[in-house]
Structure 1
Amino acid sequence: MLLLLLSVVPAYAQRPDTTIIRYVGQLTGQYTSGGVNRTLLATTHSVTFLRGQHFGAPVSGSFTYGKQDRLLKEREILVNATPYYWLGHFRAYGIGGYERSNLRGIANRIQLGLGPGWAFYTDSLGREVSVSNLFIREATYFQDGSQRIVSRSSLRLRVVYSKGVLALNSTTFYQPNLEGFGDYRINQLTTLALRFTTRFSITANYTYTHESRVLEGKPNDNTNVTVGVAFSTK
């Protein structure tokens, strides 16, 4: 939601034995009038803790609020923590996630899991191409009172690329139910940023979600394109 070849493997930069904290915050929005009057606001925040040469702990959260014809249609909250250990190309990930979605009728969703990953490309500028596959346990409580508890495989492709004032960050998830691959979820988030200072940038976000099983009357697909600004620290 690619521009690099997975076969490229450069040398790794050595990170000093210290603690680094990085923050990125974005505020984006969309307004449409005519056949359908729509207002959408979204904000995302991420904090990454890096310790020494082997440990990292990204924590990210997003909130989306949208109206169509002055009626509330979208109100979504998503929080994820993905601590990891890396050694060379190898990664070992853990994950903890929480989600609420008015659009998809989700009152609460909780995810816990762990699994391996592999970085095909990484460099001192933060550019990266990596793949991971986590095994997660997921509990979903729907707004109609029903619930589902399943085990899933979570395959993730992550691409981070930058050149000059342009930066691309793309993450794609494919999450099938281990008891039946006809039950699956696809999430895709792509952010393109144009930096106009060292800390501020203009961003365009594309998000896509597909769930094969949803409540009756709820859409299987949800797509948003928003434009806004971002603030980051080094």
Structure 2
Amino acid sequence: MRLYLLLSCFLAVFLTSSAQAQNQQQRDTTLIVYTGQLTGAYSRGGVSRTLLSTTQAVTFTRGQHYGLPLTGSFIYGKQDQLLKERELLLNATPYYYKGRFRAYAIGGFERSNLRGITSRVQLGAGPGWAFYSDTLGREVSVSNLIIREKTNFLNGTARLTTRNSARLKVAYSQSFLTLSSVTFYQPSVVDFGDYRFSNLTTLALKLPHKFSVNFSYNYTHESRVIEGKFPDNTNITVGVAYSTTR
């Protein structure tokens, strides 16, 4: 009987220690998710056109409350040997989450030949709220950040402003299908006539070996651009993406 009690106590202590170690490991676990996409087009004839587009994303999550998504995209396009598109966008959006609450920060850099931007730098922070989220990556959430933005244009002018950045994110995943949509509305806090609206919607069809076919729709409207540039820009791309988790 004494031996049985000793074994029972030892087993209880062992299981408790193992559970605590497992929970501690879960709290301290760092997860890295990488996704890369590449698309391209080339045509000759009545109109000669070359287009290259790539998107890279790495997301770090630490434990149960911290995350750091890093994203970058680059588009290069010529038409009749003339440069039309040379678009670069880099973003870092660290966040803290607990339950449905989110707290975000953002740092961004952008260049755009289409909109005549030589450099745009953004820094900001603000809260967010998830109406729904699960472990499969499905999510419906909103956030509202205050950002400070400085833009230098090709014509030598510059603009410094503070914006309110409202975002709606919807993500859905089921079997081999993933759909994500991110919409931004970003008016200046001192001039509501100065605003940007954008939407990026991506539909991914999963393939074997961590590959997928991605269909992306990207629309951007900027109310104020320099002379000779268009306020609206729409891109529809189809490409192959690769993702991995570690």
TM-score normalised to structure 2 length: 0.86
Greater relative contact order (CA < 8 Å, ≥ 6 in sequence):
1
2:214 maps to what in 1? 203
Higher-Rg structure is 2
Equivalent residues in 2 for 1:31-180, closer than 5 Å = 31=42, 36-180=47-191
1:9 maps to what in 2? none
1:40 and 1:66 in contact (8 A); partners too: yes
1:57 is displaced (CA, Å) by: 0.6
2:194 maps to what in 1? 183
1:30 and 1:40 in contact (8 A); partners too: yes
Q: List runs of 5+ in structure 1 lacking aligned partners.
A: 1-13
1:77 is displaced (CA, Å) by: 0.5
TM-score normalised to structure 1 length: 0.90
1:16 maps to what in 2? 26
Cα gap change, 1:161/1:30 in structure 2, threshold over 3 Å: closer, same or farther? Answer: farther
1:186 and 1:211 in contact (8 A); partners too: yes
Return the letter of the residue paired with 1:117: G
Deviates more, 1:86-95 or 1:26-35: 26-35
1:196 is displaced (CA, Å) by: 1.1
Return the letter of the residue paired with 2:81: R
Which has the larger helix fraction? 2
SS in 2 for 1:16: helix
CA RMSD in angstroms, aligned pairs only: 1.6
CA distance in 2, matches of 1:206, 1:78: 16
Which has the larger strand fraction? 1
Q: List runs of 5+ in structure 2 lacking aligned partners.
A: 1-22
1:36 is displaced (CA, Å) by: 4.5
2:5 maps to what in 1? none
1:40 is displaced (CA, Å) by: 2.1
1:197 is displaced (CA, Å) by: 1.3
